């Protein structure tokens, strides 16, 4: 007798079984094994996208990441989100059961009986970009702080808590407690994926007689709401365009800074204007370089952070943190063990400097923070000139 939540239905000629699991549950792993052995399906659907499927099949693939290429192509924030999620899940899964073991078991058992394995989830990059593109700047800051906190804070999760994750309403409860401005994020991460999963399972059933789908228990009811009718999902794979105010914001702040420079030169003359320009260069450059120094960046990375900071506000490509991290990823390439030890090293602050992967993100973030503080200080100094 299985205690995991199960839904059985008939789609055309196919007998479909949906199994709800928790991603760090030993009982879920055993349930997957038992159900596949009993039903012997010809198709096993798993809550994975093609990218995550490859990482499950080839667990060493992510260790071969070319960090320099990731930063060069400006995909560092996506990698950071993936690393934070991976680290957080590993903390939950300390012990014999690791995150995703129930999906690994599903793939293994399917291969043993010669069943087809179908990844039915949307690409993780698409989900992240769609959710990120649907929130305001301040919401992005809030969500970033939540992600970073999950990396720093140690989580003690009992066996009872893990089993509780199988309740169908757990994920919805989490999002219910978030402020209303995150309803769009909930829609992308939960509702859209329910619809996407339902349609992909439905499509797989058209060429199957017996199908088992292994999904997170939080998606079960949502899938049941959509699976009996065809869903249009091509729109769910589109990346939203930048909002009007996001585009305008790229120009408003630089124009405000340039206007302040112009007003100071006009009202106080070239001497005061030159002093203000020198202050802009030295304060922003020094604080950005200080951030890189605190991150224990390479001297070349520190120098680049200093050079890039004064012009970073006027060029969206040349940012001090990005340039320093790009240099760092080239000069101090992470080793395989750095990827393997991310979860362990992130548990103590010393590990942030020891682990080369995490260290690169320190080099990305701290110079940027220093530069932003410098902007505030110098702008405040400029405004005071007009008030005095």
**pLDDT-derived band of residue 149, with 50, 70 and 90 as boundaries?**
low
Q: Where along the chain do its domains lie?
A: 6-237, 244-382
212, 245 contact by CB (below 8 A): no
Q: Per residue in 315-324, pLDDT tens?
A: 877 889 889 9
Rounded to whole angstroms, the Cα distance separating 293 from 144 reads: 23
Q: Residue 191: pLDDT above 50?
A: yes
| CA atoms 266, 272, 278, 280: torsion sign | negative
Question: Would you tell me the crossing angle of helices 320-331 and 299-312 to the nearest 10 degrees?
Answer: 160
Q: Which helix (H) or strand (E) holds 44?
A: strand 43-46
Q: How far apart are CA 334 and CA 149, in angstroms?
A: 23
Q: pLDDT band at 85, cuts 50/70/90? A: low
Model confidence pLDDT, tens digit, residues 193-206: 999 999 999 999 99
- CA–CA separation, 349 and 328 (whole Å): 20
Backbone angles phi, psi at 210, to 5 degrees: -130, 125
> Both tokens of residue 114?
């010669």
Q: How confident is the model at residue 168 (pLDDT cuts 50, 70, 90)?
A: very low
289: confidence class by pLDDT, cuts 50, 70, 90: very high
Q: Are 39 and 209 within 8 A, CB to CB?
A: no
pLDDT at 144: 59
This prediction's pTM: 0.68
Query: Around Cβ 61, how many Cβ atoms within 10 Å?
Result: 12
What residues does 46 pair with on adjacent strands? 119, 214
Rounded Cα–Cα distance for residues 8 and 367 (Å): 54
- Percentage of residues of the chain with pLDDT beyond 90: 35
Contacts of 45 (CB under 8 A, 6+ apart): 118, 119, 120, 200, 201, 204, 211, 212, 213, 214, 215
CA–CA distance, 381 with 388 (Å, rounded to integer): 11
């Amino acid at each position: 007798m299985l205690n995991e939540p199960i839904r059985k239905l008939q789609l055309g000629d196919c007998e479909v079984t949906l199994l709800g699991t928790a991603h760090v549950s030993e009982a879920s792993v055993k349930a997957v094994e038992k159900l596949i052995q009993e039903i012997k399906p010809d198709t096993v659907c798993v809550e994975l996208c093609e990218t995550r499927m490859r990482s499950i099949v080839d667990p060493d693939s992510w260790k071969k990441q070319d960090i320099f290429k990731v930063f060069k192509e400006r995909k560092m924030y996506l990698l950071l989100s993936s690393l934070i999620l991976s680290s957080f899940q590993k903390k939950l899964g300390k012990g014999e059961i690791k995150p995703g073991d129930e999906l690994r078991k599903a793939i293994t058992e399917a291969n043993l009986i010669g069943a087809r394995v179908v990844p039915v989830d949307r690409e993780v990059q698409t989900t992240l970009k769609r959710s990120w593109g649907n929130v305001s700047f301040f919401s992005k800051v809030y969500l970033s702080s939540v992600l970073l906190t999950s990396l720093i804070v140690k989580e003690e999760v009992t066996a009872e808590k893990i089993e509780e994750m199988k309740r169908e309403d757990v994920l919805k409860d989490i999002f219910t407690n978030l402020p209303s401005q995150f309803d769009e994020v909930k829609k992308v991460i939960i509702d859209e994926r329910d619809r996407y999963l339902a349609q992909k399972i439905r499509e797989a059933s058209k060429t199957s007689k017996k199908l088992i789908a292994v999904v997170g228990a939080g998606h079960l009811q949502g899938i049941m709401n959509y699976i009996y009718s065809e869903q249009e999902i091509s729109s769910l794979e589109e990346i939203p365009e930048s909002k009007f105010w996001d585009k305008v914001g790229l120009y408003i702040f630089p124009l405000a800074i340039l206007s302040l420079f112009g007003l100071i030169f006009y009202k106080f003359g070239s001497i005061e204007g030159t002093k203000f320009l020198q202050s802009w260069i030295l304060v922003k450059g020094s604080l950005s370089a200080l951030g890189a120094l605190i991150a224990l960046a390479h001297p070349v990375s520190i120098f680049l952070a200093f050079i890039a900071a004064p012009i970073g506000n006027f060029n969206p490509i040349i940012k001090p943190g990005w340039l320093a991290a790009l240099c760092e990823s080239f000069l101090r390439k992470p080793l395989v063990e750095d990827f393997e030890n991310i979860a362990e090293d992130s548990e103590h602050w010393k590990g942030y400097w020891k682990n080369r992967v995490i260290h690169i993100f320190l080099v990305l973030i701290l110079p940027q923070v220093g530069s932003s503080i410098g902007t505030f200080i110098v702008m405040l100094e400029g405004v005071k000139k007009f008030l005095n």
